[in-house]
Amino acid sequence: MSFANLKSQRQEKSRKSYVDVPQSSVSSNPETITLLSSEKADHNRDESHYATPNGIYTSLPTSMEIRMTSASGRSLYMKEPTRTGSILISVKPHVYVLSNQYLDSHCSSCSAPASSSGLKKCTRCQTIRYCNLACQANDWSLHKSECSALQRWAKNAPSEDLAIPSDAIRCLGRILWKRKKRGFDSPWAQEIDGLQSHRKSLQPASFETHTHLAHSLVRYFGLTSPAELSEYGLSSAGDLVDVISRFVTNTFALTSPSLTPLGVSVSPLIALINHSCDPNAVIVFPRSPKNPSAEEPLMQVVAIRDIAENEEVLTAYIDTTLPRFLRQESLRETYDFDCQCPICTHHVGVDPREAIWCPKSCGGMCPVPTEEDSLSQCENCRAAVSSTDTVIDAIRVGQEALDKATLLQTRDYDKAKQLTTNIIPILVSAGLVPSCHPLLGLTGLHKSLLVSALSTTVRQEVLDETIRAAAKYAAGLSAILREGHPVRGIALSELGKLLAVDELAPTSPGQSIHFPPSGPLRLKAAYDALIRARNELTVGFGRANDGGETGTAVREAAMSIEKELGVWTQGIRNIREDTPKSTKAK
Ligand SMILES: C[S@@+](CC[C@H](N)C(=O)[O-])C[C@H]1O[C@@H](n2cnc3c(N)ncnc32)[C@H](O)[C@@H]1O
């Protein structure tokens, strides 16, 4: 449920404060902290949304029901056993928008990428683009209000690069316009108003973010006084902060069928699902070829393991490849709770997110030593880790490099790549396993940087390095995420596609002892990776969707390699048959 660009909102400055959140909720004085912790016993939430009748969720499938738990509020439960790969929920989000960087390349109505005939631009705001007139007509009822707000914003923008408001502002705008249009008492508005708000327990960092969002929203709507908020059914600036808090806590990434985050979306029904770092379901936008584009983007919840009757459906709000302390930090900051899921609380065995190889190379793993707990030994042979300081230093340097390279990846490609290239070997020589943080993150980033370079020039050694990085990344993910997780499926499909790229300088099959191999062995490795990817995508993007758009493309790629391999095999057979016996013996 990553909320793209939220933090960048903090940079959006504005002149006048409309926001009237009680200072006590953000002050750092001890009294406030006491107040907050006693509220925490009551889960720190505004109870008013619990009054919302379950009946308003018109898209709630009959196989599920809403229950209340003391630990996590409203929750979705299965009323019947469900198999891996089943689609549990399928809805169009209440609202969604593309992030600024995708406004030129994707349709703002169905969120599909531009076809070869390009997209048609709204002639008034010159910002929003559509596949065709049908997509434009589908979006018009909302874009009508948005169009003039976008024009006003652009006119007053201090510079060209700030001429379009962020995805968060545009999405909030759409929520308020649609809420007004549907009626403040409509089921649609009740579902939005029923979303959980953490306004009363905002932490200082979140308070700042919410304030900036409120300022920007006021500017986007062209309001000149807080009284004008009443037009949107809000009686005070505090109500506006509530809307923003609901949005922040309940927003999902709008993703492509290959999981690229394209924007943000809100579905009150799907927002009833609570979090686990070991989820039994995922939220995807598979874009099945069977779906009419007017129904896209279709948001689906898919079971990634069998779910029993009376079991809670749980998805992950954050990146679960991160170590526990980073997951907890992120959940506390954005969602205001301490995760008590099995992998956060049961310390059984070594967590592959925080592990190094056995110093005696027995194949076992040891927990990464920390400043607080420097004693570490192999889970298998009990060999003690002696290079504690080296490991701690390597992880610190790795984390700094990952943060820096992530920031630089779009601004300074060479520096970002230099960082990943130089730091990965340090972490590997310190003994980190491929799934360990921050090695996994750096490997994923290194792979993405190499892939983006391939789009300009393909050199054999770069292609091979990219394949090795993709293989290490897929192996690292596989140690953490359960089989059928769409992130695993996408990583494997990327590896398969890279292996399938024609070699520029194939070596002879006899020389193929290293990875990636060459010739038919490479093709076979591509085929194997694509078949594994296909199986995982069929689960993660829903069996009924046949793995969605990516699953379908991967199946086609695998079929074409199968044919090619058939030709190779036949070719080798023919050569064998044509070769005189005396030559074969040699
Ligand atoms: C998207 S909402 C989920 C639905 C929410 N329980 C409700 O009643 O509306 C996210 C909020 O639910 C609560 N929550 C979700 N998962 C939780 C968990 N594992 N433990 C405790 N609270 C959780 C947190 O308050 C979080 O900010």
Q: How much distance in Å is there from the Cα of 29 to the middle of ligand 1? A: 27
Q: How much distance in Å is there from the Cα of 46 to the middle of ligand 1? A: 12
Residue 518 CB less than 6 A away from ligand 1: no
For residues 172 and 216, the answer to whether their CB atoms sit within 8 Å is no
Average pLDDT over residues 436-460: 93
Report DSSP state, residue 385: P
Backbone angles phi, psi at 217, to 5 degrees: -65, -40
The preferred substitution site among 40, 50, 196, 201 for testing ligand 1, maximizing ligand atoms within 8 Å of CB, is 196
Residue 337 CB less than 6 A away from ligand 1: yes
pLDDT at 512 > cutoff 60 = no
Residue 339 CB less than 6 A away from ligand 1: yes
pLDDT of residue 207: 84
pLDDT at 573 > cutoff 90 = no
For residues 197 and 242, the answer to whether their CB atoms sit within 8 Å is yes
Nearest residue by C-alpha to atom 13 in ligand 1: 72
* Angstrom distances, CA of residue 286 to CA of 38, 269, 435, 557, 576: 43, 18, 26, 18, 46
Tens-digit pLDDT profile for residues 358-397:
999 999 999 999 988 888 999 999 999 999 999 999 999 9
Residue 275 CB less than 6 A away from ligand 1: yes
Q: How much distance in Å is there from the Cα of 72 to the middle of ligand 1? A: 5
Average pLDDT over residues 452-473: 90
pLDDT of residue 175: 98
pLDDT of residue 578: 66
pLDDT of residue 580: 60
Q: What's the whole-number average pLDDT of the chain?
A: 87
Nearest residue by C-alpha to atom 21 in ligand 1: 72
pLDDT of residue 51: 41
* Angstrom distances, CA of residue 41 to CA of 294, 330, 361: 45, 20, 47
Q: What angle do CA 579, 580, 585 make, to 5 degrees?
A: 95
Q: How much distance in Å is there from the Cα of 30 to the middle of ligand 1? A: 26
Residue 546 CB less than 6 A away from ligand 1: no
Residue that the structure tokens 């909030």 belong to: 172
Residue 252 CB less than 6 A away from ligand 1: no
Tens-digit pLDDT profile for residues 54-111:
568 989 999 999 999 889 999 999 999 999 999 999 999 999 999 999 999 999 999 9
pLDDT of residue 570: 64
For residues 534 and 562, the answer to whether their CB atoms sit within 8 Å is no
For residues 464 and 479, the answer to whether their CB atoms sit within 8 Å is no
* ipTM summary value: 1.00
Question: What is the DSSP secondary-structure string of 518-577?
Answer: -HHHHHHHHHHHHHHHHHHHHHHT-GGGTTHHHHHHHHHHHHHHHHHHHHHHHHHHHHHH
Let me know if 114 is exposed, middle or buried by CB neighbors in 10 A (0-12, 13-18, 19+): middle
For residues 256 and 286, the answer to whether their CB atoms sit within 8 Å is no
pLDDT of residue 537: 97
Q: How much distance in Å is there from the Cα of 69 to the middle of ligand 1? A: 10
CB burial of 451-478 (b: ≥16 within 10 Å; e: otherwise) equals bebeeeeeeeeebbbbbbbbbbbbbbbb
Rounded to whole angstroms, how far apart are CA atoms 416 and 408? 5
Q: In this prediction, what percent of the chain has a pLDDT beyond 90?
A: 73
Q: How much distance in Å is there from the Cα of 177 to the middle of ligand 1? A: 26
The preferred substitution site among 46, 89, 335, 338 for testing ligand 1, maximizing ligand atoms within 8 Å of CB, is 335
Alpha helices in 377-518 (DSSP H): 388-408, 413-429, 439-454, 460-480, 486-500
Nearest residue by C-alpha to atom 7 in ligand 1: 74
Tens-digit pLDDT profile for residues 105-124:
999 999 999 999 999 999 99
Tens-digit pLDDT profile for residues 14-56:
333 333 333 322 222 222 222 222 223 233 344 444 444 456 8
For the CA of 44, the nearest atom of ligand 1: 25
For the CA of 198, the nearest atom of ligand 1: 27
Average pLDDT over residues 450-471: 90
For residues 77 and 311, the answer to whether their CB atoms sit within 8 Å is yes
pLDDT at 355 > cutoff 70 = yes
Rounded to whole angstroms, how far apart are CA atoms 536 and 56? 35
For residues 213 and 169, the answer to whether their CB atoms sit within 8 Å is yes
Instruction: Say whether the peptide bond before residue 516 is cis (omega within 30 degrees of 0).
Output: yes
The preferred substitution site among 202, 245, 337, 341 for testing ligand 1, maximizing ligand atoms within 8 Å of CB, is 337
Rounded to whole angstroms, how far apart are CA atoms 452 and 470? 13
Average pLDDT over residues 468-497: 97
Which is more confidently placed, 2 or 549? Answer: 549
Amino acid found at 475: A
Backbone angles phi, psi at 386, to 5 degrees: -100, -25
Beta-strand (E) ranges in 193-310? Answer: 251-255, 261-266, 274-275, 281-284, 299-303
Backbone angles phi, psi at 16, to 5 degrees: -120, 140
pLDDT of residue 2: 37
For residues 284 and 255, the answer to whether their CB atoms sit within 8 Å is yes
Which of 329, 345, 347 is CA-nearest to residue 337? 329
Tens-digit pLDDT profile for residues 161-215:
999 999 999 999 999 999 999 999 999 999 999 999 988 888 777 888 898 999 9
Q: How much distance in Å is there from the Cα of 483 to the middle of ligand 1? A: 26
Average pLDDT over residues 336-349: 89
Confidence of residue 289 (pLDDT cuts 50, 70, 90): confident
Q: How much distance in Å is there from the Cα of 274 to the middle of ligand 1? A: 5
For the CA of 194, the nearest atom of ligand 1: 9
pLDDT of residue 12: 35
Rounded to whole angstroms, how far apart are CA atoms 282 and 487? 10
Question: What is the DSSP secondary-structure string of 8-26?
Answer: GGGG---S-------GGGT
Choose the weakest-confidence range: 156-165, 184-193, 304-313, 506-515.
506-515
- The token duo for 348 is 């059984």
pLDDT at 492 > cutoff 70 = yes
Q: In this prediction, what percent of the chain has a pLDDT beyond 70?
A: 86
Q: How much distance in Å is there from the Cα of 495 to the middle of ligand 1? A: 35
Q: How much distance in Å is there from the Cα of 425 to the middle of ligand 1? A: 40
Residue 68 CB less than 6 A away from ligand 1: no
Residue 74 CB less than 6 A away from ligand 1: yes
Residue 317 CB less than 6 A away from ligand 1: no
Rounded to whole angstroms, how far apart are CA atoms 351 and 437? 11
pLDDT at 575 > cutoff 80 = no
* Angstrom distances, CA of residue 43 to CA of 33, 198, 340, 457: 14, 10, 14, 54
